[in-house]
Chain A
Amino acid sequence: MQETPNLNYIKELSGDDKTFEQKFIQILKDEFPVEQRTYIDHIERDEPRMAGELVHKLKHKFNILSMSEAYEYAIQYEEELRAGGTKGDAGFRSILETIKNYLNTI
């Protein structure tokens, strides 16, 4: 999946309010790595349902970063995790890495 994150939605919300924009980016930078780490921990501990809770949170961030394809992927994967499956893990981690790299550039 080669979808690129962007800040269009955040800029729409911010308007001219640069303070909010910076504050929000910082929230993403703080919150995202914690959620990513927690997700991976649950997968490694074979706790798919707990991992599903994190996917639920992370998919909201996909939306915020205008990643509609990633969001759709996360919806399917969340369902899979709730049913105990983890086949979508590799694809999901790839999305997380894309976002992680992107957040390092802003």
Chain B
Amino acid sequence: MNCIIIDDEAAARAIVNQLCSKIPDLEVIEEFDNAIDAMKFLNQHLIDVVFLDIHMPGFSGVDFVQTLKNPPKIVMTTSDTEFAIASYEYEAIVDYLVKPITPERFEKCVEKVKNSLTQQPKVIEDETSSTETDEDLYINIDRRLIKLKLNEIMVIEAKGDYIDIKTEKEDYRVHTTLKKIKAKLPEKLFLQIHRSYIINFTKIIDIEDNSVLIEKNVIPISRSNRPELMRRLNLL
């Protein structure tokens, strides 16, 4: 297995290179201090995995991933866990490593890359299958990434610079916006019914006048969102 390392900091590149040197069948072909040069290199060379820093000036790691047409396997490296969440948006990204990277964590990452290289391409699911409801969402709380089952989320409420996520098991407060989380939620399950609320459509118990009841939560429905809610109801 071969790899390249992209990071604008020499110290960070040296660390990844050293970690790679401990893995018997992993060869570092080249290091780059910017993503543009790496892109040129990838156009001419077949590479199995890229260790890519997210936070680089000018052309970031995320820009790099978005620009590549046929990307190799990518491992994001970052000192901020919040960026790690964005990593899950791209299929080519198999793992993320939070700096400082430990040898143990690096070994696990390489195993993950090897597994993903040997995996068969995914079969595209029928649109009607229920896999969408089995998807997970990772939220960042106090530098921990917590996995939530999308189908266990009941209500999401905007609270200034934060959102409150109410699930069947627990409630969480996350530093993000309603708009950002809405973009990550499947429309089939979720619906914004008010400027400050997104609900899991399948959790509705009843609807009365201008509110929805989900478990013990009474959620207001705004006038502008009401038609869409009514359209999606299976009315008798």
Which residues of A pack against B, CB within 8 Å? 9, 12-14, 17, 20, 23-24, 27-28, 30-31, 53, 56-57, 59-61, 63-64
Are A60's CB and B103's CB within 8 A? no
Could you name 19 residue pairs across A and B whose Cβ atoms are closer than 8 Å?
Answer: A12-B102, A12-B103, A13-B103, A14-B18, A17-B18, A20-B18, A27-B11, A28-B11, A31-B11, A56-B55, A56-B79, A57-B8, A59-B79, A60-B9, A60-B11, A60-B100, A61-B11, A63-B100, A64-B100
Which residues does chain B contribute within 8 Å of A14, judged by CB atoms?
18
Docked-complex contact B100 and A23, CB < 8 angstroms? no
Known: A20-B14, A64-B11. 12 other contacts (CB 8 A): A9-B100, A12-B103, A20-B18, A28-B11, A31-B9, A57-B8, A57-B9, A59-B79, A60-B11, A63-B79, A63-B100, A64-B15
Q: Which residues of A contact B11 (CB under 8 A)?
A: 24, 27-28, 31, 60-61, 64
Is B26 an interface position by the 8 A CB rule?
no
CB of B57 within 8 Å of the partner chain: yes
Q: Taking chain A's interface residues, is the majority helix, strand, or loop, or is none over half, making it mixed?
A: helix
Q: Assess the A53–B57 pair: CB atoms within 8 A.
A: yes
Question: Contact mask B10-22 → A, CB, 8 Å, 1/0?
Answer: 1110110011000
A20 neighbours in B (Cβ, 8 Å): 14, 18
Instruction: Output the nearest chain B residue to A56 by Cβ-Cβ distance.
Output: B55
Complex alpha-carbon distance, A60 and B18, angstroms: 17
